[in-house]
Structure 1
């Protein structure tokens, strides 16, 4: 008698975006069992209620009252009662049973499940029911294709789960995991794909991209090799992985990444990646992809193994709160970009421009004065993951500010230790004391490690920039790395920050605009600037300034050339035509940039 749970996942009907799971549950104690699906997936802190996609659920056993015959086997139905939005009770009388359910898969993201005519992508949290009392037993997974469907006949299954051959069928795959938590940490891809493998320090890395493409996989592998090497060297031997899978869903639009212990799932625009035969010049979008890969691979250690204590065994049925996400996503956001510069994948000035863009996002964000990075971490479930157009005025990103905090902490540690310790040293301590054994970090872990191991008190810094709402004082800190920090006015509505030789705008509206069929739709209104003071609201459509019809370029030109302290803004609001007095306001200096003052010093800081 086996004590394992066995799941058979069948790609049953891609046209209806449906797959089917048959779950075989062995004999057990008690008169009933409870089945449940997680509400959220680790690494993405929002309740998503995956169980809402279960279409129907039935249970049968080979003992009981006959309801039908399947071949030579008598099948008996069992009573199923739904207890809440994600939990079912099955009356089994302790007998082995099979639970069958269908799942709707039409969420093109890296968090749930999606299916089309090219592939099926499935996270375990969307597919595999947890059986109460069986959380620590082995889980086996069979993946099957619908043999009668010609579209899926050449599909293949890919996952980072260990495989075991039990069938010679080309349309069936068998995988095993030691328990339920491990099972749901391996996304599954079944479909048409391009793959390319490369090796770093004896570890095999596989790139998987959905569909068949003309992407230059060799180039991507060559660029990722030193990035992966950097992370492996930083954390040191022995490594927790032997194989790693970069699984990328290509789409016309979309962006995302979600970390797993032995893989990552990515979503990226297909034509933002280098094509075979194209110039070797790295576009901004390709650099962003490399940074995304760097970010998710860094999570192999920092999030999947080093993690807040409350995340070691989280309750996936409801929110699990922590104020430490600034450590985990923030530090990782620092390393994802700096690694590209350290590895020589991008030039130092390009790295500084990326940091400047992150700082610029903060400087435009009035919410940084209202919410601390620690509070942002705690409120990730609602305020960060459920942002609306007012977010820039009311919250701060623990990713963005956390990355700047990490940069400042690195420079502070170097300065106070005469370059004997830095953020690398701190990360290595986190791995040694909390990651290797996955025992979880307390809230005060950073200040405690710095005091205990470095003799450096960073509590004042953290109190100001993490638990308070102060900005990191970059101007005084970055001089230690041979760089000068400055701010300037924006040069256009598309300006993201960084060095620019273009002339700055003179006056500022204070709103984000998007071209409409006629005029410009207001997408964001920034607190304290001219648009909000004038009463401009979200979704207004600006059509004129001082009697002239405008587009984005003409609006800015008219503002800059205004000869009076006040102009008239004409807009449409909910079918009404309005004219608002708009105060002509000098553009704020909210775009950050860095200038290299000592190239040798910067290269030393980068470790080049």
Structure 2
């Protein structure tokens, strides 16, 4: 990096914990211009929704080095013009930070966290200039630690100073300041850092041990050169939150603190802990597949407005396949547990009527307005490019093996994508998967992609899973918490309401109505309070019990809707067999597919 070129200096500090305020000062050198425009992104890469981060800027002023205040004009919701008359200047502004998520900024009594897209203004037209950052932790809180994957400014290393080659790099390293538990481990010559916010006694040693083979898998799959020398798993612990967002050398995670193993507990791998390891696997995989291999429109995206692509099924979908299968390949979970997770994903997809209306290519393109802005009817109208995209990836692996006599796998496709698009970050086109399979391996998969990616057909896994010793099975739902993935353990529901409900003070509140099922046919609507079934006041358990015991073709249900009492006729319909589980018919073939001894 040529540090003799002009550098934009930033200084970040916690101004107020109780008021959740960051203070930022930004020193801009003389850029030989009468005025300078600064702006803040409206969205953060990896999360496809306009969030208007600039709305959290509270105070804003600009001055010269001798204290003269400069004229500031606001141009739009996220841009300001500073009249500089060709002089260097300093901006001082405060940012409200109280969004406990991986996308924005947050301050409480335990820690402060931010993404650069929420706090660092860009100098428009000069985003290529190096950016130097100094982070100032609260001086009265001696236990507060500073962590980021941003490159250290070796000249001022002791002062928590960092140097980025340009603005894009500055905003691609989340920042943590606060109390935490922390550990690190090496995989090859890459250092991995684990950080958990606050003082919860999370078993960092166990988590480190379990992450080692996951990290090894990803590094081995893509091989050298590695895109990072140091990687940070930055986890914000909360009561119930969940999320993950990828960055070039780190990930920001949000996870319920007591869903993780605690120091001193007996060793056990709960489903919630497995989900955490899968989340870590998912976000680490993005280091290659999203942060380097990416759609061409995302190489230099306009962060002030939506950027559309049909390809999110490739990026989030393929990653959703690799996050879980990596755990099985690495021996962190059993092959049977992996099949349970696949069965749950298939169940979720089967119970989504929207898969028959929207393709995953359309879902990718409409992520900004549909996937990221879901309402209670979303399951009837859209499909998840994460969920179906992961099933498409599994199907593609099986199809490639079948059409190549087991010589070509999805791993080979990922390695070509890394070689041809990731190393140079050249950007992929919409047809990249078909093009790679055809040009590199001589396999035409156009028919497959047309039907399951650009069309709305289901992935025909039942025809291919037998190749790896697996059988697909379906059964009715066994209870409201039945996620699928396992064989029947008890009697299933005989009859299906076709709506999600929760207990209310009297009766149940309808949260979701599934298209075409009994509740929909009866005219039950979202937010109705269903108070009685055939004259009996119900709760959720009694409602299902009466529904299963009903011997008639119809029942009378009473609902309250916007203050009106309505009596509706509910058809009694047999439960659909839309819960999926997978069984092993050939253990050797399945182990060979997983790559397990």
Cα drift, residue 146 of structure 1: 4.2
In the alignment, does 2:316 pair up with 1:313? no
Corresponding residue for residue 604 of structure 1: 592
Cα drift, residue 133 of structure 1: 2.7
Cα drift, residue 571 of structure 1: 2.0
Number of corresponding residues: 592
Specify the SS of the correspondent of 1:23. strand
1:346 is aligned, of 326, 333, 336, to 333
Specify the SS of the correspondent of 2:151. coil
Asked if 1 retains the 8 angstrom alpha-carbon contact of 2:137 and 2:146, the reply is: no
CA distance in 2 between partners of 1:25 and 1:264 (Å):
29
Specify the SS of the correspondent of 1:460. helix
Cα drift, residue 168 of structure 1: 8.9
Cα drift, residue 154 of structure 1: 2.9
Corresponding residue for residue 66 of structure 1: none
In the alignment, does 2:96 pair up with 1:104? yes
Asked if 2 retains the 8 angstrom alpha-carbon contact of 1:249 and 1:268, the reply is: yes
1:35 is aligned, of 35, 38, 42, to 38
Farther-moved stretch of structure 1 (521-530 vs 537-546): 537-546
Corresponding residue for residue 533 of structure 2: 545
CA distance in 2 between partners of 1:520 and 1:200 (Å):
52
In the alignment, does 2:512 pair up with 1:520? no
Asked if 2 retains the 8 angstrom alpha-carbon contact of 1:12 and 1:145, the reply is: no
In the alignment, does 2:433 pair up with 1:452? no
Specify the SS of the correspondent of 1:554. helix
CA distance in 2 between partners of 1:477 and 1:391 (Å):
30
CA distance in 1 between partners of 2:134 and 2:357 (Å):
50
Asked if 2 retains the 8 angstrom alpha-carbon contact of 1:160 and 1:245, the reply is: yes
Corresponding residue for residue 345 of structure 2: 358
In the alignment, does 2:175 pair up with 1:184? no
CA distance in 1 between partners of 2:580 and 2:460 (Å):
13
In the alignment, does 2:141 pair up with 1:138? no
Asked if 2 retains the 8 angstrom alpha-carbon contact of 1:165 and 1:173, the reply is: no
CA distance in 2 between partners of 1:167 and 1:201 (Å):
28
- Per-residue CA deviations over 1:541-574 (Å, capped at 9, x if unaligned) read 1222112222222111111111110111122222
Cα drift, residue 126 of structure 1: 0.4
Cα drift, residue 2 of structure 1: 5.9
Spell out the pairing of 1:377-456 with structure 2 (5 A cutoff): 377-456=364-443
Corresponding residue for residue 581 of structure 2: 593
Corresponding residue for residue 237 of structure 1: 224
Segments of 5+ residues of structure 2 without an aligned counterpart are none
- Per-residue CA deviations over 1:381-420 (Å, capped at 9, x if unaligned) read 0100000001000000000000000000000000000010
Spell out the pairing of 1:96-175 with structure 2 (5 A cutoff): 96-147=88-139, 150=140, 152-164=141-153, 172-175=159-162
Cα drift, residue 166 of structure 1: 5.8
CA distance in 1 between partners of 2:213 and 2:70 (Å):
56
Asked if 2 retains the 8 angstrom alpha-carbon contact of 1:429 and 1:449, the reply is: yes
- Per-residue CA deviations over 1:145-204 (Å, capped at 9, x if unaligned) read 344xx4x343121100122366697xx521111110000000000011110111111211
Q: Cα–Cα, structure 1 residues 323 and 167, in superposed 2: closer, same or farther, change >3 Å?
A: closer
- Per-residue CA deviations over 1:228-282 (Å, capped at 9, x if unaligned) read 1000000011211111000000000110000001000000000000112223221
CA distance in 1 between partners of 2:434 and 2:367 (Å):
23
Segments of 5+ residues of structure 1 without an aligned counterpart are 63-73
Corresponding residue for residue 519 of structure 2: 531
In the alignment, does 2:487 pair up with 1:495? no
Asked if 2 retains the 8 angstrom alpha-carbon contact of 1:514 and 1:523, the reply is: yes
In the alignment, does 2:270 pair up with 1:283? yes
Asked if 1 retains the 8 angstrom alpha-carbon contact of 2:5 and 2:129, the reply is: no
Cα drift, residue 144 of structure 1: 1.3
Runs of 4+ in 1 over 6 A off after TM superposition: none
Corresponding residue for residue 555 of structure 2: 567
Q: Cα–Cα, structure 1 residues 485 and 235, in superposed 2: closer, same or farther, change >3 Å?
A: same
1:206 is aligned, of 165, 185, 193, to 193
2:54 is aligned, of 51, 56, 65, to 51
Corresponding residue for residue 11 of structure 1: 14
1:480 is aligned, of 454, 467, 478, to 467
Corresponding residue for residue 68 of structure 1: none
CA distance in 1 between partners of 2:481 and 2:83 (Å):
60
CA distance in 1 between partners of 2:267 and 2:442 (Å):
47
Specify the SS of the correspondent of 2:240. coil
Specify the SS of the correspondent of 1:208. strand
Specify the SS of the correspondent of 1:589. coil
Specify the SS of the correspondent of 2:160. strand
Farther-moved stretch of structure 1 (131-140 vs 179-188): 131-140
CA distance in 2 between partners of 1:570 and 1:3 (Å):
71
CA distance in 2 between partners of 1:184 and 1:268 (Å):
23
CA distance in 2 between partners of 1:8 and 1:382 (Å):
35
CA distance in 2 between partners of 1:602 and 1:551 (Å):
44
Specify the SS of the correspondent of 1:332. helix
RMSD over equivalenced CA pairs, Å: 1.2
CA distance in 2 between partners of 1:142 and 1:201 (Å):
31
CA distance in 2 between partners of 1:520 and 1:269 (Å):
28
In the alignment, does 2:85 pair up with 1:93? yes
CA distance in 2 between partners of 1:218 and 1:79 (Å):
54
Specify the SS of the correspondent of 1:43. coil
Q: Cα–Cα, structure 1 residues 344 and 379, in superposed 2: closer, same or farther, change >3 Å?
A: same
Specify the SS of the correspondent of 2:560. strand
Cα drift, residue 516 of structure 1: 1.9
CA distance in 2 between partners of 1:269 and 1:281 (Å):
17
